[in-house]
Structure 1
Amino acid sequence: MSQPPGPAGRQVRPATVPTAPHPVDPEFLALPLRPLADAALSAATAAGASWADFRMQRLLSADLVVRDTAVQTETDDVTVGYGVRVIVDGAWGFASSVVLAPEAAAATARRAVQVARAVRPVAGEQVERADEPVYRDVTWVGGYDVDPWSVDGAERAALLLDRSERLLAHDGVAHTVAALQQAKDCTFYADTAGTTVTQQRVRVYPWLEAVAVDTAGGSFETMRSLAPPVGRGWEYVLSGCGHDGEISVLAESLAEKLKAPSIEPGRYDLVIDPSNLWLVIHESVGHATEYDRAIGYEAAYAGTSFATPDRLGSLQYGSPVMTVTGDRTTLHGLASVGWDDDGVAAQSFELVTRGILTGYQLDRVFARRLGRDRSNGCAYADSPAHVPLQRMANVSLQPDPTGGSTDDLVSGVEDGILVVGDKSWSIDMQRYNFQFTGQRFHRIRNGRIEGQVRDVAYQATTTDFWGSMDAAGGPDTYLLAGAFNCGKGQPGQVAAVSHGCPSARFRGVNVLNTVAEGAA
């Protein structure tokens, strides 16, 4: 069998301001950040706002896709602009602009005040926000070694072409895809309380996919690399996937999958690798513990939540092995920041403690509504044209400090399946009934891993699934995985988020045969 990538370490710690390995880009600092902020905040206050904040963003994004031996897609985008958010008579107002002149910033602020006054007669309740200390002239830069924008496009394309061609050269591989997504987010935040924050973070996602075709049977199979997206730089693109060992494993695993027998449906014990389990955490815990969903305030994309506030402190979310944290400070986390878009310092906090629902992800408004003294820093806007929403932190299942390896978990299974890599999923609008598939499924018999099986999906309710977890792997099995494309809100916004977890074992989970289900 193929092994997942090595573990990514993680600490649950209070908010800190790390020493920045890189300065904030001079091109961003050269923008008229403070003159625009001063003009906007002064104009908002003069127009009657009791609160105002200003957020300038410069977003760089690039996508590169190679199919077989040719570059198929290559895009580079830059977005620069600012948003002004105000509270007037207890109602929100927001406006944005791309005109980098103080008079335009002032006009944008006055427009936001007009929006708030128009909203006030139909607003259901007044905006009240939890308190937060003032942070003056603070800076945070995410942890990375080599800025991916220091690498020219030709070098990026050459690297992906090489990886695609080496994968394509393996017997049985009919087609390949090599891709790279990268982004850099620079922000400047200022508010009428006196907080001013400058931040910069970088993220990258290199991946490979191989396709095999069974010409005799008319079927095909795919296999994707396991290296996850991370908040790192070009150094990760070089090491994260695409080395000779992983390419060989990818091709060999695909060839075995094409010949593997179809699974017999039934109940099996599952050992789930972090490369698959992170997605279950995202869908069944991450979205379910967003407080706006739990109170029915938000339902777009991912629905609401079964984990309602009346069950806080009592809901048996899972077994006592299950402790899940939200964390905006995780090293290399995709959702890690120094301060959120409410001006709140990043923190770590518990969501599920030894199987019991104990917390929610909150911004300043929802923290006050829940009766908390302080937000846990979960406000984010994906562009200067969008108002900040409550967004997901890095939501992670904690390893067992004394837990063993994935092989140790397997050794305790008489009849089961090892699940590796994420693929498709389905979950209801309450985050309760779900179904997941994967990249690779290895049959376990009498504590030993045998060959692959195929056409596997596992199905459960959230509480039954997490309640069936009887063991979590140790820190050496821990991996920080995640996604670039978590959607929320209307108009829609997209955020990147990480989820760390160890390997874990689940007893008696219902397994379906996807081919049989599709034909039914």
Structure 2
Amino acid sequence: MKRRDFVGLTGLATGALFLPSFPSLAGNPVDAARLLEPGLDVLQKKRFADAALNTAKGAGASYADVRIGRYLNQSIFTREKQVQNIANGESFGAGVRVIANGSWGFASTNDVSDKGLAKAAQLAVAMAKANAKTQKEPVKLAAQRGYGDVSWKTPIKTNAFEVPVAQKVELLLAANAKATENGANFVNSSLFQINEQKYFASTDGSYIDQDVHRIWPTFSVTAIDRASGKFKTRDALSAPMGLGYEYLSPQAADKIVGPQGTGLIGYRNSYDILEDAALAARQAKAKLTAQSVIPGKYDLVLEPNHLGLTIHESIGHALELDRVLGYESNYAGTSFATLEWKAKNIPYGSKQVNIVADKLQPGSLGAVGYDDEGVKCKEWTLIDQGKLVNYEKIRDQAHIVGQTESDGCCYADSWSSVQFQRMPNVSLRPGTAKLSADQLISQVDKGIYIAGRGSYSIDQQRYNFQFGGQVFYAIEKGKITGMLDDVAYQANTQEFWNSCAAVCDASEYRLFGTFNDGKGQPSQSSAVSHGSATTRFNGVNVINTARKLG
């Protein structure tokens, strides 16, 4: 977008004033046209990587890897009829990680040249040797074969950066208009686009070039009762995805009609932001007069956009091996699902609970060909028929649990960040028997249907928790009977997943995701998806969030 066009639309200067504090969306401000420049070619990246690898080995490293990264982002923010901000960012540099004298060392640089990479490698080796003086045990890396020269790219149809900014602005403003036409008093919408151009090389013999794309359209609408001053909101039911701009070209085949009586639409591989914005406004208005829930025990029917967050917090984080081992206890906490707990064969959930981890699922945020230490990505089972069978681990963790290979879930959010164990996509497998959401609801005598993710809280051991949502519907004798409000449910992880009674089939399956899953010190942010079908949980404790204690 030319400057005169932008000023004409907004009257605001382009910058990062409204940019969320997501590390993955940081970078130096650049012109939008720069986001389409090709960057270094693969031969240049290989030459620079070899300069680092050779220098590291010559300085005494037993292992070394190099990541040359170019991270691009564009964020667009609107409110009602106005564009609030457009921000374009680029971050470019390289990180060198080594093992010397049995210890890790890491250094990064924005001088991507033979000289710059060699200097970073020397510093990384020096740091490793200094660390070795206090390290009690040497690093043990799982064996990893080299793949030679390979590449992987997110299978997108349309690069979001190639779509004119004016076209994207027009879509967001149209969504805002749909919301206000349908009763919203306020609405803001945003579109986030990310491209990670990552090159990895290691002394194992891998030279891996990857081009990763992600996109996230979202909004929030507010409806007000001016007489009482009461207001209600409803956020978008979109999911951030590992797709291109085609995600915003809705296809009828990608829509899943929600249960009768809700008006909801689920979205799979494309998203209709106009349709969702209009429905969100109507539902926000309806929440103003919705019946406040009566606390008690209910059967809960949870749709995927909601259940994904519960999976993320109570399973995804709980099974990160570094957290299980206590490595994250100073910042992110630990996990109740310790190695000792697993050895006792205590059920994590009912037999309907089958949880899979993967870095391959098409359209997911975590989908890549290789992780950030050169391991080819795969799928593996974490929970099999309610039994915990595995964790999420990387190369220097595998030996701790008696395994010989990494799971391929190592990631760094920037070239300047050291890679470490991150959550892969963690998903609940759909049921094998044919079962729709309406059929699932027909089996419920007294329950609540919950859609969308809301506020939540979970303890440092990933055990005791509370989750809200966006919209809630009462279920009585197998039917949706009306909207509820002020709903949240409380449980502990074991109780909750052991109450899982039924999971809909694959026709109901879709993804939830987050762009900004935080972890580590210094903190890093990663993107991850969680898939599920609509699922029923029996006898869960529901509280009323509007009632005051005492």
1:242 Cα deviation from its structure 2 partner: 4.4
| CA displacement at 1:124 relative to structure 2 | 3.2
Shift, 1:312, TM fit: 2.7
Query: How much has 1:300 moved relative to structure 2?
Result: 5.4
Partner of 2:346: 315
Question: Is contact 2:46–2:207 with CA below 8 Å preserved after alignment?
Answer: no
> Within 1, Cα distance between the matches of 2:103 and 2:302?
46
Query: Is the partner of 1:204 in helix, strand or coil?
Result: strand
**Distance in 2, Cα, partners of 1:147 & 1:300:** 40
Does the 8 A contact of 1:311 with 1:357 survive in 2?
no
Alignment correspondent of 1:213 = 224
Partner residue of 1:515?
546
**What are the superposed Cα offsets for residues 192-243 of structure 1, whole Å, 9 maximum, x if unpaired?**
1111111111010111221001112221100112121110011112334445
Q: Is the 8 A contact 2:304 2:512 kept in 1?
A: yes
Residues 144 and 204, structure 2, Cα contact 8 Å, conserved in 1:
no
Higher relative contact order (CA 8 A, sep 6+): 1
Instruction: Verify the 8 A CA contact 2:488 2:545 in the aligned structure 1.
Output: yes
Q: 1:242 to 1:210 in 2, by over 3 A?
A: farther
The one-letter code sitting in structure 1 at the alignment partner of 2:408 is G
**Structure 1 moving runs of 4+ over 6 Å:** none
Number of equivalent positions:
495
Question: How has the CA–CA distance of structure 1 residues 247 and 104 changed in structure 2, closer, same or farther, with 3 Å as cutoff?
Answer: closer
Aligned partner of 1:406 in structure 2 is: 437
What do residues 440-487 of structure 1 show as CA deviations (whole Å, max 9, x unaligned)? 000000000011110000000000000001101110111111100100
Amino acid at match of 2:225: D
Indicate which of 225, 242, 250 corresponds to 1:231: 242
Deviation per CA, 1:257-314, whole angstroms, max 9, x where unpaired?
Answer: 1110111111101000111000000000000000000111123553110001123351
Is the aligned partner of 1:142 residue 2:154? yes
Taking the TM superposition and a 5 Å limit, the aligned residue runs for 1:13-52 are 26-29=38-41, 32-52=44-64
**Residue type of the partner of 1:309?**
L
Residues in 1 aligned to 2:471 and 2:155: alpha-carbon distance in whole angstroms: 32
Q: CA deviation at 1:25?
A: 7.7
- Structure 1 distance, partners of 2:335, 2:233, is 33
State the SS of the aligned residue for 1:435: strand
**Percent identity for Structure 1 against Structure 2:** 40
Which one of 189, 202, 223 corresponds to residue 191 of structure 1? 202
Q: Deviations over 1:40-59 (max 9, x none)?
A: 00100010000000100110
**Inter-partner Cα distance in structure 1 for 2:290 and 2:328:** 43
- The one-letter code sitting in structure 2 at the alignment partner of 1:435 is Q
Aligned to 1:89: 101
Shift in Å, 1:28? 4.1
Would the alpha carbon gap of residues 430 and 243 (structure 1) be closer, same or farther in structure 2, given more than 3 Å must change?
closer
Residue of structure 1 equivalent to 2:486: 455
| Cα distance, 1:166 vs structure 2 | 2.3
Q: Secondary structure at the match of 1:155?
A: helix
Q: How many Å separate the matches in 2 of 1:390 and 1:193?
A: 19
2:45 maps to amino acid: L
Is residue 207–residue 241 contact of structure 1 (8 Å, CA) maintained in 2?
no
Quote how far apart the aligned CAs of 1:26 are: 3.6
Match of 1:252 among 234, 258, 282: 282
Amino acid at match of 2:322: D
2:502 counterpart residue number? 471
- TM-score, normalised to structure 2, is 0.88
Secondary structure in 2 matching 1:32 = helix
| Contact preservation (8 Å) 1:50, 1:86 | yes
Task: Note closer, same or farther for the CA distance 1:69–1:300 as it changes in structure 2 (3 Å cut).
Answer: farther
**Alpha-carbon distance between aligned partners in 2 of 1:122 and 1:68, rounded to the nearest angstrom:** 58
CA offsets per residue over residues 137-191 of structure 1, 9 Å max, x none? 01111121100010122222122112112211223x1000111111001111001
Q: Distance in 2 between matches of 1:388 and 1:59?
A: 15
Tell me if structure 2 keeps the 8 A contact 1:300–1:488.
no
2:332, 2:520 within 8 Å by CA — same for their partners in 1? no
Paired residue secondary structure (2:171): helix
Q: Paired residue for 2:318?
A: 288
The DSSP-based 3-state class of the residue aligned with 1:311 is helix
How many angstroms apart in 2 are the aligned matches of 1:179 and 1:45? 47
2:3 corresponding residue in structure 1: none
Quote the residue 1:12 is aligned against.
none
Unaligned runs of 5+ in 2: 1-35, 251-269
Aligned to 1:481: 512
User: Quick one: distance in 1 between partners of 2:217 and 2:188?
Assistant: 11
Give yes or no for contact 2:299–2:536 (8 Å, CA) kept in 1: yes
Instruction: Please report how far the alpha carbon of residue 107 of structure 1 lies from its aligned counterpart in structure 2 after TM superposition.
Output: 0.7
CA distance in 2, matches of 1:116, 1:245: 55
Q: Whole-Å Cα distance in 1 between the matches of residues 476 and 283 of structure 2? A: 19
Shift of residue 244 of structure 1? 4.4
Q: Is the 8 A contact 1:276 1:438 kept in 2?
A: yes
The equivalent of 2:120 in structure 1 is 108
Partner residue in 2 for 1:177: 188
CA contact (8 A) 2:248 2:273 kept: no
- The aligned residue for residue 168 of structure 2 is 156
- Alpha-carbon distance in 1 for matches of 2:319, 2:530: 14
Matched, 1:203 2:234: no
CA distance in 1 between counterparts of 2:44 and 2:248 reads 33
* TM-score, scaled relative to structure 1: 0.93
Q: Is the 8 A contact 1:300 1:489 kept in 2?
A: no
1:449 partner letter: I
Alignment of 1:412-431 (within 5 A): 412-431=443-462
Instruction: Give the residue type in structure 2 aligned to 1:423.
Output: G
Q: Distance in 1 between matches of 2:388 and 2:434?
A: 23
Match of 2:5 in 1: none
1:432 pairs with 442, 459, 463, which one?
463
C-alpha separation in 2, matches of 1:439 and 1:403:
27
